[in-house]
Structure 1
């Protein structure tokens, strides 16, 4: 395998790791980890409006910390790398619980993270633009079987 092929595979792996790193940061309430996934000037268009990470993050934090626990799972993903720029499209499943033990589920949301990324340094990739699309959601009342 040529060096260029190996480099491309490594780049794809690193790009695909960014949404997972973001998800783990949210679930651990590690806001520095979440912030590090983004270029400080990057734009987010999502559930809580539109803005730079510094503008968007406070609304995300307030919402997430209103739950006892969350669990974000990153599923199907497509990524492409073109030099120092990349794209990633990933499905996510976000579970939200009232309690820290995860016994009382309040909300489940299917999302799509549509990211544009840029290389920072030799191995780092950051999101410069993210569009979050809510595909569907189920609230606690919908999770209980109806008779």
Structure 2
């Protein structure tokens, strides 16, 4: 006869917190890639601070800074890899590795960068969000001249509310 393992409530609570934090980072990437700045803003606490290459400031200043930069691009895709979360009660350190593809920039051209999102996360009123973010750039590679036209007709991504994901969500949220 084997003993059954009963989950320890603190362990389950920690797993749920880590999942919630992971989803904050995923929503941030979706918001950037789909040019949904409201979704990006929702990943931060209102008094949050962001540090990116070429930028340091409040979340409102960050949104005002990144929006026009994203609008210049044809698009972006952020791929998350390793993600480690260290919990300290209602505060956590989140480190997520990312490969970020950018295309269609009118003067810089296409490029890919490797980065880590190092976040100080806080749970306030039961909600995990970014209190302070460091987007640590590890490397950048030019992809100029490497993009090609699609091989055939088919679904394509869109930004600013016109993506297939937006249509599907609207259909299910009638």
Inter-partner Cα distance in structure 2 for 1:19 and 1:9: 16
Larger Rg, first or second structure (1 or 2): 2
Following TM superposition, by how much is the alpha carbon of 1:143 offset from its aligned partner in structure 2, in angstroms?
A: 5.2
Secondary structure at the aligned position of 2:118 is classed as: strand
The aligned residue for residue 127 of structure 1 is 130
In the alignment, structure 1 residue 139 sits paired with structure 2 residue 147: no
Q: Tell me the alpha carbon deviations over residues 91-141 of structure 1, each in whole angstroms, 9 at most, x when there is no partner.
A: 111111229xxxxx711011111100111333x211001011111011134
Number of aligned residue pairs: 138
Query: Does the Cα contact within 8 Å between 2:111 and 2:144 map onto a contact in 1?
Result: no
Q: Please give the TM-score of this superposition, normalised by the length of structure 1.
A: 0.87
Following TM superposition, by how much is the alpha carbon of 1:64 offset from its aligned partner in structure 2, in angstroms?
A: 1.2
Aligned 1:1-147 pairs, distance under 5 A = 1-98=7-104, 106-122=110-126, 124-141=127-144
Relative contact order higher in (CA < 8 Å, ≥ 6 apart): 1
Inter-partner Cα distance in structure 1 for 2:50 and 2:130: 9
Q: Which structure 2 residue ranges, 5 or more long, are not aligned?
A: 1-6, 148-174
Following TM superposition, by how much is the alpha carbon of 1:21 offset from its aligned partner in structure 2, in angstroms?
A: 0.8
Q: Tell me the alpha carbon deviations over residues 33-88 of structure 1, each in whole angstroms, 9 at most, x when there is no partner.
A: 00010111111111231100111111111111111111011111110112111110
State the 4+ residue runs in structure 1 displaced beyond 3 angstroms. 141-144
Alignment root-mean-square deviation, CA: 1.8
Secondary structure at the aligned position of 1:65 is classed as: helix
The aligned residue for residue 102 of structure 1 is none
